[in-house]
Amino acid sequence: MSAPPRPETAPRAAVFLDRDGVLIEERNYLHRVEDAVWIPGTPAALGRLTEAGFWLFVVTNQSGIGRGYYTVADMERVHAHLQREWERAGARVTKIYYAPEAPEQPSRGRKPSPQFLFDAGAEFGVDLSRSYMVGDKLIDLECGWNAGVRRCILVRTGYGAELERSAAAQLTRALVVDDLAAAAAWILAQGSGG
Ligand SMILES: [Mg+2]
């Protein structure tokens, strides 16, 4: 169980995180705990962001549910496993937002929709204009841009390196770094979350 959010005196900044290819290795339609492999340094990076006062949220498209490849319960087992490990590193992720729809199904939150970021803003008092989005696909960056976050960061893990090669012209507004640990270091150099 996560600790309840601490009382707010002022809106805090958040770091919104894609899951596959950012926190854990990209595997097509990952839904088994044994396939969830951390990208090195990730739990510790989440711990440092938590310590600096950032809200953390995972925002993930899980079309494998809508396509019938796996269930919400499968996904939740993976998330419970990830949560145990990041809590051990002192990290607190306040909420995992997921869009279960297949691409052809109507969806409120499926990235690049910014809806889950707006939801986090309304539910937790996140200051989106001081927040960050970290992802490995263009839809992650577009989600952050659509929500008006301060900066979107592309990591070269997952699909990121391939995107950097193939779509550089679309990345001029993004910061590109090697991995989440590097993204966290850059974010922390800009200031705390509180
Ligand atoms: Mg991804």
Q: Cα(155) to centroid of ligand 1, in Å?
A: 10
Specify if 58 maps to a domain: yes
Return the pLDDT at 2.
57
Residue 168 banded pLDDT, cuts 50, 70, 90: very high
Residue 194 banded pLDDT, cuts 50, 70, 90: confident
- Around ion ligand 1, residues with a beta carbon closer than 5 Å are 18, 20-21, 136, 158
Specify if 52 maps to a domain: yes
Of 57, 71, 72, 193, give the one whose Cα is nearest residue 116. 57
Specify if 20 maps to a domain: yes
Q: Cα(110) to centroid of ligand 1, in Å?
A: 13
> How many domains is the chain built from?
1
The C-alpha atoms of residue 16 and residue 6 are separated, in whole angstroms, by: 19
Of 87, 180, 193, give the one whose Cα is nearest residue 149. 193
Contact 128, 147 (CB under 8 A): yes
Specify if 9 maps to a domain: no
Specify if 6 maps to a domain: no
**SS3 of the chain: helix, strand, coil, percent, to 5:** 40, 15, 40
CA atoms within 13 A on the CB side of 14: 32
Specify if 2 maps to a domain: no
CATH of the domain at 112: 3.40.50.1000
Residue 36 has pLDDT above 70, yes or no: yes
Structure tokens at 173: 């507004």
Each residue of 76-109: pLDDT tens digit?
999 999 999 999 999 999 999 999 999 999 999 9
Domain range for 39 is: 14-190
Contact 117, 143 (CB under 8 A): yes
Q: Cα(127) to centroid of ligand 1, in Å?
A: 24
Average pLDDT over residues 54-65: 98
Residues labelled catalytic: 18, 20
Specify if 113 maps to a domain: yes
Specify if 109 maps to a domain: yes
Return the pLDDT at 7.
52
Structure tokens at 176: 């590109």
Each residue of 119-146: pLDDT tens digit?
999 999 999 999 999 999 999 999 999 9
Of 82, 97, 83, 94, give the one whose Cα is nearest residue 147. 97
Q: Cα(109) to centroid of ligand 1, in Å?
A: 15
Residue 65 has pLDDT above 70, yes or no: yes
Contact 187, 133 (CB under 8 A): no
pTM: 0.94
Average pLDDT of every residue of the chain: 95
Instruction: Say which residue the tokens 């926190």 belong to.
Output: 23
